[in-house]
């Protein structure tokens, strides 16, 4: 246990010193409030916020820079719910589930309460996940050396199985988007043979498509294009009144508390899955709350559980997603994929060293993250009323701002003009995809996980000296991962059958009792 945490009083003092510096405190406040505003604006997601600010952190101290980025991450996901609840336009993809019950509550004049429940659930979810990060990451980093090519390959495959659940609606379209992402990931010099693949003689393509510009294009620029199309029509505006108390009553709080806790743990787990972010976490949280509820039929009509469940889950994803990022260098969500760049800029490489050599930085950032979640709760409860104004910014103002941010952000991350073209290409691609019912999320997932899977597989071929099956079977972590993959592939079918049986049973029950 002593070696597990490697924290002693001297380290704690150092952490305090780092966290109490003016720079860090300012970074925390700016990150939290800035994140909330970024999140509340449709078209600016948590990923975008982090991508835009990474170049700024270059000149900052590692602790304040990374604390600011993680604060933006969690509060942007919270901020996205404000616009979801009040104007039925999720500010970030992670808030889509919240819009269901949240907007109904607003229509019933309970918008203020919905905001209160959102804030409290987000805060609790975020804090629990940050504490989980504090306690799970150090022991996990101990086994990080046990991870090598075969494990990385299987983790990537496991992450890719999630594409099925990402594709709301058509499974085929989801898989097609995934394949498109994999093809994009092929571009660049093949690391194992040195062969330049699909570069067409352009030097800039040799290092592959950079993730952040592609993501900004797919998520932000394409969103703006969609919004601009609607510009002529009357925009959705919050017209109702916000009255009443923000804080839920003690009784209400008690009724949603189990939901919050359940969703928090779901969120942490989903976050830890490679590539799966807040959007999936919130839907799983919502569905599970519905399943456990005594009155599932009320979901969607504007009840507080329906707001609390996705909200606790999507903020809990943040801490969970940081766990594989810090220990294995595998991003748990799209936003953490961008955060990885922020770590590299500070010269920090994920793995055991983050918890030994750089322990005081890492733990300071984790504690800063916990504080950011509390700060988000306080700021949210006191200023939610004001954040409504953010959603009133007309898209004629917002769209140009986002376009400018997209261009600057794409350029700034590598100081590379080529990345702006990449962003524009993916903006157009994302727009066409949205128009035709494809979802951009699987593309990003595949761009992140494709190379991990490919290199992992081919490196294991060399490591196993051709005897692949035995090699995989002789590694315990591989066996666990294979079991998880099989479970993930077949669980939807099993669950469906289970559900059918349940409903028939329930029907029988009703018929016998009546």
476 binds other proteins (CB under 8 A): no
Asked if 406 and 221 touch (Cβ cutoff 8 Å), the reply is yes
Segment near other proteins (CB under 8 A), from 21-29, 69-77, 85-93, 439-447? 21-29
Q: Cα angle at 72 between 71 and 78, to 5 degrees?
A: 95
188, containing H or E segment: strand 188-189
Pick from 200, 222, 272, 219: nearest CA to 442: 219
Q: Which of 455, 457, 482, 485 is the binder for other proteins (CB under 8 A)?
A: 455
Selected from 47, 57, 81, 92, the binder of other proteins by CB under 8 A is 57
Is the CB of 148 or the CB of 287 nearer to other proteins? 148
Q: Select the span of 70-78, 185-193, 227-235, 489-497 touching other proteins (CB under 8 A).
A: 185-193
Binding mask 317-356 for other proteins (x = CB under 8 A): ---------------------------xxxx-x-x-----
In sequence order, the 6+-apart residues with CB closer than 8 A to the CB of 15 are 360, 363, 364, 367
Best CA proximity match to 150, nearest among 449, 484, 478, 486? 478
- In the numeric block, the tokens 């990451």 are attached to 137
How many chain residues are in contact with other proteins, going by CB under 8 A? 54
Minimum separation from the CB atom of position 202 to other proteins (A): 9
Residue among 33 and 443 whose Cβ is closer to other proteins = 33
What CA–CA distance (Å, rounded) separates 83 from 99?
A: 8
> Does residue 232 belong to the site contacting other proteins (CB under 8 A)?
no
According to CB under 8 A, which residues from 402 to 421 bind other proteins?
Answer: 414-416, 418
146 binds other proteins (CB under 8 A): yes
- Could you please report the per-residue DSSP string of 368-388? HHHHHHHHHHHHHHHHHHHHG
**CB contact set of 428 (below 8 Å; sequence gap of 6+):** 217, 222, 225
Element (H, E) at 181: helix 171-186
Nearer to other proteins, 143 or 506 (CB): 143
CA 102 distance to own-chain centroid: 20
Instruction: Tell me, rounded to whole angstroms, the distance of Cα 156 from its chain centroid.
Output: 17
For other proteins, the closer of residues 131 and 461 by Cβ is 461
**477 makes contact with other proteins (CB under 8 A):** no
- Of residues 206 and 500, the one with the C-beta less far from other proteins: 206
Sole binder of other proteins in the list 12, 26, 487, 495 (CB under 8 A): 26
Q: Which of 14, 207, 235, 293 binds other proteins (CB under 8 A)?
A: 207
Q: Which CB, 294 or 465, lies closer to other proteins?
A: 465
How far is it, in rounded angstroms, from Cα 213 to Cα 209? 8
191, 486, 487, 495: which one binds other proteins (CB under 8 A):
191
Minimal distance, residue 418 CB to other proteins, in Å: 7
Rounded CA gap, 5 and 139, in Å?
8
The nearest distance, CB 442 to other proteins, in angstroms, is 24
By CB under 8 A, tell whether 189 contacts other proteins.
yes
* 243 CB-contact burial (10 Å; exposed 0-12 / middle 13-18 / buried 19+): exposed
* Side-chain half-sphere CA neighbours of 277 within 13 A: 27
Tokens for 325, please give them.
Answer: 């990022």
Nearest distance from C-beta of residue 34 to other proteins, angstroms: 7
Footprint on this chain of other proteins (rule: CB under 8 A) = 22-23, 26-27, 29-30, 33-34, 37, 56-61, 65, 68, 144-149, 189, 191-196, 201, 203-207, 344-347, 349, 351, 383, 386, 389, 414-416, 418, 455, 459, 462-463, 465
């Amino acid at each position: 246990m002593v070696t597990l945490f490697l924290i002693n009083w001297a380290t704690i003092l150092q952490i305090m010193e780092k966290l109490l510096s003016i720079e860090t405190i300012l970074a925390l406040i700016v990150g939290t409030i800035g994140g909330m505003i970024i999140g509340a604006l449709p078209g600016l997601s948590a990923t975008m916020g982090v991508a835009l600010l990474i170049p700024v952190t270059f000149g900052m101290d590692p602790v304040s820079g990374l604390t600011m980025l993680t604060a933006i991450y969690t509060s942007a996901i919270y901020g996205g719910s404000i616009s979801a609840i009040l104007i039925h336009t999720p500010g970030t993809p992670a808030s889509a589930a919240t819009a269901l019950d949240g907007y109904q509550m607003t229509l019933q004049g309970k918008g203020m309460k919905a905001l209160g429940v959102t804030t409290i659930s987000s805060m609790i979810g975020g804090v629990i996940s940050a504490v989980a990060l504090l306690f799970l990451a150090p022991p996990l980093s101990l086994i990080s050396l046990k991870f090598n090519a075969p494990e990385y390959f299987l983790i990537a495959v496991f992450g890719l199985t999630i594409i099925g659940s990402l594709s709301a609606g058509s499974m085929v379209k989801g898989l097609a988007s995934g394949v498109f992402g994999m093809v994009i990931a092929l571009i660049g010099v093949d690391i194992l043979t040195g062969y330049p693949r699909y570069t067409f003689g352009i030097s800039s393509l040799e290092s592959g498509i950079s993730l952040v510009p592609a993501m900004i294009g797919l998520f932000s620029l394409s969103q703006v294009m969609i919004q601009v199309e609607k510009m002529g029509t009357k925009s959705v505006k919050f017209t109702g009144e916000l009255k009443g108390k923000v804080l839920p009553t003690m009784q209400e709080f008690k009724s949603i508390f189990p939901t919050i806790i359940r969703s928090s743990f779901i969120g942490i787990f989903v976050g830890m899955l490679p590539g799966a972010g807040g959007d999936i976490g919130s839907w799983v949280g919502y569905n599970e709350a519905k399943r456990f509820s005594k009155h599932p039929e009320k979901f969607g009509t504007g009840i507080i559980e329906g707001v609390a469940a996705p909200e606790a889950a999507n903020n809990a994803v943040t801490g969970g997603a940081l766990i594989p990022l810090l220990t294995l260098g595998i991003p748990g969500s799209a936003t953490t994929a961008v955060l990885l760049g922020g770590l590299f800029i500070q010269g920090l490489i994920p793995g055991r060293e983050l918890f030994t050599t750089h322990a005081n930085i890492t733990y300071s950032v984790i504690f800063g993250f916990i504080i950011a979640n509390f700060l988000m709760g306080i700021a949210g409860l006191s200023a939610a009323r004001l954040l409504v104004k953010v959603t009133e910014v007309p898209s004629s103002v917002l769209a140009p701002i986002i376009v400018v941010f997209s261009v600057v952000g794409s350029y700034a991350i590598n100081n590379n003009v080529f990345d702006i073209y990449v962003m524009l290409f993916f903006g157009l691609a994302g727009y066409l995809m949205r128009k035709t019912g494809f979802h951009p999320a699987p593309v990003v997932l595949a761009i992140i996980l494709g190379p991990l899977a490919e290199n992992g597989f081919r490196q294991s071929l060399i490591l196993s000296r051709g005897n692949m099956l035995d090699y995989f079977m002789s590694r315990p972590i591989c066996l666990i991962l294979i079991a998880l993959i099989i479970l993930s592939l077949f669980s939807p079918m099993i669950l469906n059958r289970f559900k059918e049986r349940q409903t028939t049973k329930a029907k029988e029950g009703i018929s016998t009792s009546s």
